[in-house]
Structure 1
Amino acid sequence: MEKIFLKNYKGFRHQIISLEQVNFLVGENSTGKTSFLKVVNLLSSAEFWYDYEFNNNEVELGYFEEIINKQTEDKFFQLGIEKKNENNENDEFRILFEFHELNSIPILKLMKVNIANFDVLINFSPKQIRYRIKQENRVEYEKWVNDFDYPNTYKVLSRPFRRGILPVYYITHLIGSEILKGNNLQKFRPSFNNEMLYSNYKWLAPIRAKAKRTYESYKIKFSPEGEHIPSILRQILSGKNSKDKAKIISALEQFGKDSNLFNKIEVRELGKKNSSPFEIIIKYEDLEIKLPNVGYGVSQSLPLIIEILSSKNTCFSIQQPEVHLHPKAQSAFGSFLFNAVKIDNNKFIIETHSDFTINRLRYKLHNSKKDIEFNSKVLFFERGSEGNTITNININKDGSYSEKVPSTYRDFFIDEELKLLEI
């Protein structure tokens, strides 16, 4: 389980969010779902952990005044995480960042992090980095983020530096080298990937690349819009690893059958060289149709399905995967998610308004409760006078909801159904 701490961030005044392997983000518009997905992306991006950059190729959070909560009187916002230490599963990695404003840019002013058996409070100024230490406070993360009771004595980091360019792993390495001795120092080996919320992370855009009549074979680099997916599909279908190929094709065709979107998919080569262009053919029994000529639901869902099928041990953030899918296909996506977690150990953070997808996953859990090792939940977002709040609604191993289901959550889907009945 991972935890994210938000204080004065966007519409959130003070919130801790626990994440499981499957997380459905549900709520009305402007309740913070997209803001939350963006901070997950941020905390899983190399740019942020290297130079605390709030804008990358996938998300833009903007200037300081666009990030800080509009209602707060504080002059800062805080972000933090707790996760299993990848070097020691019995230990947690905890960190808290505090950002202030300088020329409209968020500037790192304070960092709190656990290094070995110590909690370290680090202050940044234009001329130096100072830190204070104490024995690690092994309390719940909810209490840890509010604990600033440290000795008054500061130590100044002795290494030369330029403010704002020291990555987290380098700062923890320098301070760890000063406070740890002998064997303890040998055991402490910070790494760049270890700090990130999810080291294997993919952001899938809500609108995928438009289908084309022909594709070039060289577009392999990942893009959130799925422009690389046709080449990945070609590699899969022409691959020599028959076991992986058969597994992916079987899962792909099963989704096509369950969703009634297609029966089979074929890549048709337009030349004999590896560099030759190719086209994608969608098959319905005896009928063959080129990808641009089929329904939008097929061309928009295909990049999503293939990206997930070709990944293992990866966390995906997905916005409204049900867009352009009819109810049967939305339900089929719920079954697909279930298998993607169970078989390939993937994780999902999904913004959705589809109870078809959620309920199908719950149904799959109910029928397979004896074999399930992963946890799932709904994060219900609401907007109130004090800002946005998130309510955890755990999904039990038998598919039922936990006892604490707010009435507003059930009303959310009931209201949607009543609106449809008025049509």
Structure 2
Amino acid sequence: MERIIIEGVRCFQRRQSASLKPVTILIGENSTGKTTFLALVRIAWDLRAGNFAPDFNEEPFELGAYDQIASYRGGKEGCARTFTIESEAPFSDYAGGPYAVTVCAEFGSRGSQPNLETWRMQVGQYGLKADYGSGTNELALIIFTPSGSFSEKLEIGDDLFRSMRPSSLLLPFHASLQRERLPKAEKAGQRKVADVSFLSELAYDLQRLGASRPYAFAPIRTRPKRTYDPIKDVPEPGGSHVPMVLAKTLSPNRGARNELRETLDKFGKDSGLFHNVEVRRLGRTESDPFQIRIKVAGPAFNLIDVGYGVSQVLPIIVDCLRAPKGATFLLQQPEVHLHPRAQAELGSFLAFIAKEQKKRVIIETHSDYIVDRIRMDIREGKHHLNPDDVALLYFERDDGGVTIHELRIDEQGNILNPPRGYRQFFLDEERKLLGC
């Protein structure tokens, strides 16, 4: 996705639009919607992939019921009647591309929970709209094509609608074309069939986006343990799977060269957190317990006996390195428990992940060290990072809720034309410190 548009969700009462880049940084005061924004990015991705029943409370996010999600208008109005989540992205898998694909979803309330009422996909002159908001179990479908607009209506239940996918929404149109028995020689009929087929193939291809679903880290990663039992290494937001991943990956019989080990050790040295990470088996088989040991200086110590920041950053480093090309990561305050030097190096690591490994990171942070390091990497051309690779989104509270400002960065790493309130607190503090 290259852009997300939100309206009527929590503090985003007004329509807010924000671009997404290989490195997207969310900054601003507490309670300005940054975590909500991260949750909506994943939901927007689900909606693009054709999930008509996204989970607004999937870990590590918990947005609540409809009344907690929809913007509060105040007075007799109460909560907004509907809210919308929209996304834009280029799409080039279908012959004749690339195309700019927009997917917009409008939610209302049903049984206290968000209920998808309208789902719309737009690709140039082509479009597909599904309307299920009347509460009568009637699904109204409309397609828009250069050869005209066509509509169908179906009687279906909630469960069936939620289990449908974009490509299946076009099946009624294929059936109606078969019933019409359009002559092959009729140009208008041929165009109509071609238009519906184009939309069907595009909708089917969009569903495959689910393979690159954004992976969200918990704001506080799992607590370290002195000893671990071998368990499944199924990814989990808190990172409880990472010790098992390390046990498998860093095993002494894995061969001489280990890319994960090399990159992990390099980050540890550059950040000042550790020299290397070791796995100590407490038995002769892989089913025996094991320990994660960290070498800082001198002998290695148990993970639980070194600085807490090490256990907090390890899941981020390991999961980012293991993910395939094209993966997207949602990070909440990755700087937790890290010294400024380590925070800065984490910024460079995330830039490396985005540019060298072709992944995407969306970072909610209060760390100036992360932001400043990424700006310096732009200036120095480190990892071939340039201003177009970075989106710096400043969330500012105002009378109407929250406004998202897209701050521009030049080739020297300077922030151009920031809003008046940007970093005003820090300027005031410096003046007080200097006695001005």
Q: TM-score, normalised by structure 1?
A: 0.85
Could you say which residue in structure 2 is the equivalent of 1:6?
6
Distance 1:38 1:186, change over 3 A: closer
Percent identity among equivalent residues? 33
> 2:141 is aligned with what amino acid?
Y
Sort the Cα spacing of 1:252 and 1:175 in 2 relative to 1 into closer, same or farther, 3 A.
Answer: farther
Q: Residues 50 and 167 of structure 1 are in contact (CA less than 8 Å); yes or no, is this contact kept in structure 2?
A: yes
Do 2:50 and 2:165's aligned partners in 1 also have CA atoms closer than 8 Å? no
Distance verdict in 2 for CA 1:415–1:333, change over 3 Å: farther
Q: Separation in 2 of the partners of 1:381 and 1:19?
A: 14
Of 80, 90, 93 in structure 2, the residue corresponding to residue 87 of structure 1 is: 93
| Distance (whole Å) between structure 2 residues aligned to residue 196 and residue 416 of structure 1 | 46
Q: Deviation of residue 239 (structure 1)? A: 8.1
Q: 1:363 to 1:385 in 2, by over 3 A?
A: same
CA separation of 1:421 and 1:252: change in aligned 2, threshold 3 A: farther
Call closer, same or farther: CA 1:252–1:233 in 2, change over 3 Å: same
Structure 1 counterpart of 2:62: 60
Q: 1:155 matched to which residue of 2? A: 151
Q: CA deviation at 1:116?
A: 7.9
Amino acid at match of 1:59: F
Q: Quick check: 2:396–2:404 contact (8 Å CA) kept in 1?
A: yes
Larger mean Cα displacement after TM superposition, 14-23 or 82-91: 82-91
Q: Which amino acid aligns with 1:64?
A: Y
Q: How does 1:18-37 map to 2 (within 5 A)?
A: 18-37=19-38
Aligned 8 A contact 1:216 1:278 in 2: yes
| Count of aligned pairs | 404
For structure 2, the residue ranges without an aligned partner over 5 or more in a row are 178-191
Change (3 A) 1:386 1:17: same
More displaced 10-residue stretch of structure 1: 298-307 or 169-178:
169-178
Q: Choose the corresponding residue for 1:351, options 355, 364, 379.
A: 364
Deviation at 1:75, TM superposition (A): 1.5
> Is there any run of 5+ residues in structure 1 with no aligned partner, and where?
137-150
The superposition leaves residues 256-276 of structure 1 with CA deviations (integer Å, 9 ceiling, x where unpaired) of 112211111101111221212
- Structure 1 vs Structure 2 CA RMSD: 3.1
Secondary structure of the corresponding residue to residue 227 of structure 1 = coil
Between 342-351 and 114-123, report the one with greater CA deviation: 114-123
Measured in 2, the distance between the counterparts of 1:82 and 1:175 equals 26
Alignment partners' CA distance in 2, 1:8 and 1:116:
26
Which residue matches 2:17?
16
User: Match of 2:272?
Assistant: 260
Q: What residue number does 1:271 align with?
A: 283
- State the alpha-carbon separation in 1 of the partners of residues 145 and 238 from structure 2: 46
2:224–2:304 CA contact under 8 A, matched in 1: yes
Structure 2 counterpart of 1:114, one-letter code: Q
When residues 420 and 289 of structure 1 are mapped into structure 2, their CA distance, relative to the original with a 3 A threshold, is farther
1:246-295 CA distance string (max 9 Å, x none)? 33222211211122111111011112212121101111232221001111
In the superposition, relative to structure 1, how do residues 396 and 172 fare at CA in structure 2: closer, same or farther (>3 Å)? farther
Opposite residue 268 of structure 1, the aligned amino acid is R
Shift of 1:127: 3.0
Matches within 5 A, 1:140-179: 155-157=151-153, 161-163=156-158, 164-174=161-171, 177=174
Q: Give the structure 1 partner of residue 406 of structure 2.
A: 392
Q: CA deviation at 1:368?
A: 1.5
Structure 2 counterpart SS, 1:349: strand
Matches within 5 A, 1:17-416: 17-45=18-46, 49-71=51-73, 73=77, 74-85=80-91, 87-88=93-94, 90-114=98-122, 117-124=125-132, 125=134, 126-135=136-145, 155-157=151-153, 161-163=156-158, 164-174=161-171, 177=174, 181-182=193-194, 185=197, 188-189=200-201, 190-191=203-204, 194=207, 199-238=212-251, 246-312=258-324, 313-368=326-381, 371-372=384-385, 375-401=389-415, 403-414=416-427
Q: Give secondary structure in 1 for the equivalent of 2:349.
A: helix
CA contact (8 A) 2:330 2:361 kept: yes
1:4 alignment partner AA: I
Comparing 68-77 and 25-34, the one that deviates more: 68-77
Partner of 1:44, secondary structure, is helix
Letter in 2 for 1:41: R
How many angstroms apart in 1 are the aligned matches of 2:429 and 2:156? 56
Q: Distance in 2 between matches of 1:271 and 1:240?
A: 15
Cα distance, 1:233–1:355 mapped onto 2, change above 3 Å: same
| Aligned position for 1:143 | none
Moved more, 167-176 or 24-33: 167-176
Query: What TM-score, normalized to structure 2?
Result: 0.83
Query: Which region of structure 1 is more displaced relative to structure 2, 166-175 or 8-17?
Result: 166-175
Is the CA contact (8 Å cut-off) linking 2:4 and 2:17 kept in structure 1? yes
Maintained 8 Å contact 1:169/1:192: no
> Quick one: structure 1 residues 278 and 355, their matched pair in 2 at CA, closer, same or farther if it must change by over 3 Å?
same
2:100–2:124 Cα contact (<8 Å) kept: no
Quickly say closer, same or farther: Cα 1:415–1:320, change in 2 above 3 A: farther
SS at match of 1:261: coil
- Give distance in 1, aligned partners of 2:383 and 2:344: 22
Q: How far does residue 420 in structure 1 lie from its aligned partner after superposition?
A: 8.6
More divergent stretch after superposition (324-333 vs 1-10): 1-10
In 1, Cα distance between equivalents of 2:398 and 2:270 = 40
Cα drift, residue 109 of structure 1: 1.8
Counterpart-to-counterpart distance in 2, 1:193 and 1:90? 13
Deviation at 1:421, TM superposition (A): 8.6
CA pair 44-270 structure 1, distance change in 2 beyond 3 A: farther
The secondary structure found in structure 2 opposite 1:408 is: coil
Tell me the alpha carbon deviations over residues 97-147 of structure 1, each in whole angstroms, 9 at most, x when there is no partner.
1112223222222222126842233321323211334347xxxxxxxxxxx
